[in-house]
Structure 1
């Protein structure tokens, strides 16, 4: 009896060892960047890997003020938050209606939304560019917001629909008996139950929107309207020899992603495992 038990522990130990190795390879460069952001440029050039002498924030102030990271950061915050909020709001309402309401053409409408998952968004750049040009949305933040929000709707509806279909209907039926209309039912009953799925969608839309380099590069013209990924390319060229400031700028760029994942971890796990527990 003891041999199969000990034999089963070896694969488990090997899997954990591989996961820890992968985690070290993934997190190690980030730790080096964070440490380097507190060191002086001369110290980094003399000894690339090492600990800082003191925890000063001069590099962050220089990156934030002198290198215009503050402008790029503000643009990314405005565009990303607005796009994710719009995407989640539209997707939540659409997914709830497609999951709970019965009407003619519901399956066809759901298939239409989900077909967006099969079409690479970059292939539609040329029509989008001409449409934005005719609407005066080139080099505007609202244009980016609408583009990102629309691009995230298919995936968001797919995730939220799968979650809503697994929710019990008893609470909604009780609310209807109490006289709640469909709007009150959605806001007061459905939305709180959908919170894990909404957290998953929010994080999975926030990260690619924040990190996107392609659309701001093509659709934006003014340096004052660039987001962080495009702004960092100018940052790399101007501060290529100032490693300390460069590291500080990179930390500022990735800080919102780390914060969002840290705050939403519990909801993400609940949303991803909701289907397994039923």
Structure 2
């Protein structure tokens, strides 16, 4: 009589109490209620913020956790957009974010292509240095960044902000591209070389279009990081408030003796809506890019 291997039996026992197994053993309505409760815990803060943006200052503190305003105060959005200058802040944020995303994608893609497809002396050292920068706190680099920007005449400008935000390591994007490009068969590159294609032709017309899932992932992560960046934009707009981004502009609602909570909630809702819409549109490509890079 044949016996099952012990390793497989142990593995089956270890997997017996994992969450997917438990959910499969529960009735469908129980599993649905558990997942709905978990989703509610994540969605409720955002829903409360949207509800607070339609309440008055007194109603925010008097209604507690209620999500339904007594009388929707749409003027909060007008106050945030016009009086607090969030129309200009939105334009500044869009310019800085899109320029940063383009520069980061080009830089990460080219660096990842070289590190993933070519073997050269010092390649492992470069990879080690990139990995070390993952544990370096961002605050430690702000002083040299500001000093270099000041010497180049880029301080207090949107151009300097773009250069500072796109000039950081972005190690995750480089590693994602390197892993994806490494998984592409060499025969494809060799066929392009035989057809007379050069380095840049192969990269821009063959390799980069194939890395579309990774590009979507890098675009989304860079967009989120740049759109929500606070420290660098704050330093670069000290003397020019008209160049503030949305995250820095939130300080306009904080006064010396009081805080406009309803206006801040409306401004936060305005700033978060583009992020939510972009993530909904690109979530499939984001998951495919992460899975493809990890699999390789």
Are 1:32 and 2:48 matched, yes or no? yes
Query: Is the Cα–Cα contact under 8 Å of residues 117 and 178 in structure 2 kept in the other structure?
Result: no
* Structure 1 residues 7 and 205: CA distance shift in structure 2, 3 A: closer
Counterparts of 1:275 and 1:89, CA distance in 2: 18
Residue 172 of structure 1 deviates from its aligned partner by 2.4
Partner of 2:245: 227
Partner of 1:197: 214
Q: Output aligned runs, 1:41-56, within 5 Å.
A: 44=60, 47-48=63-64, 49-52=66-69
Partner of 1:183: 200
Q: Output aligned runs, 1:27-176, within 5 Å.
A: 27-39=43-55, 44=60, 47-48=63-64, 49-52=66-69, 57-176=74-193
Number of equivalences: 275
Judge which range, 57-66 or 194-203, deviates more: 57-66
Partner of 2:284: 266
TM-score, normalised to structure 2's length? 0.79
Residue 46 of structure 1 deviates from its aligned partner by 5.5
Query: Is the Cα–Cα contact under 8 Å of residues 60 and 249 in structure 1 kept in the other structure?
Result: yes
Partner of 1:245: 263
Counterparts of 1:156 and 1:163, CA distance in 2: 11
Residue 93 of structure 1 deviates from its aligned partner by 0.8
Which has the greater radius of gyration?
2
Deviation string for 1:217-267 (max 9, x for gaps)? 223221101111111012243996654433221101111211221121011
Residue 196 of structure 1 deviates from its aligned partner by 1.1
Counterparts of 2:257 and 2:36, CA distance in 1: 34
Paired residue for 2:22, among 10, 23, 28?
Answer: 10
Counterparts of 2:136 and 2:59, CA distance in 1: 49
Query: Is the Cα–Cα contact under 8 Å of residues 113 and 181 in structure 2 kept in the other structure?
Result: yes
Q: Secondary structure at the match of 1:151?
A: coil
Q: Mind listing any 5+ residue stretches in structure 2 that lack a counterpart? A: 1-12
* Structure 1 residues 174 and 37: CA distance shift in structure 2, 3 A: same
Counterparts of 1:147 and 1:27, CA distance in 2: 33
* Structure 1 residues 208 and 19: CA distance shift in structure 2, 3 A: farther
* Structure 1 residues 6 and 83: CA distance shift in structure 2, 3 A: closer
Judge which range, 16-25 or 174-183, deviates more: 16-25
Q: Secondary structure at the match of 1:165?
A: helix
Query: Is the Cα–Cα contact under 8 Å of residues 250 and 264 in structure 2 kept in the other structure?
Result: no
Deviation string for 1:34-77 (max 9, x for gaps)? 23334555655663524257878543233211221112221111
* Structure 1 residues 226 and 172: CA distance shift in structure 2, 3 A: same
Judge which range, 85-94 or 49-58, deviates more: 49-58
Residue 111 of structure 1 deviates from its aligned partner by 3.4
* Structure 1 residues 71 and 276: CA distance shift in structure 2, 3 A: closer
Residue 121 of structure 1 deviates from its aligned partner by 2.4
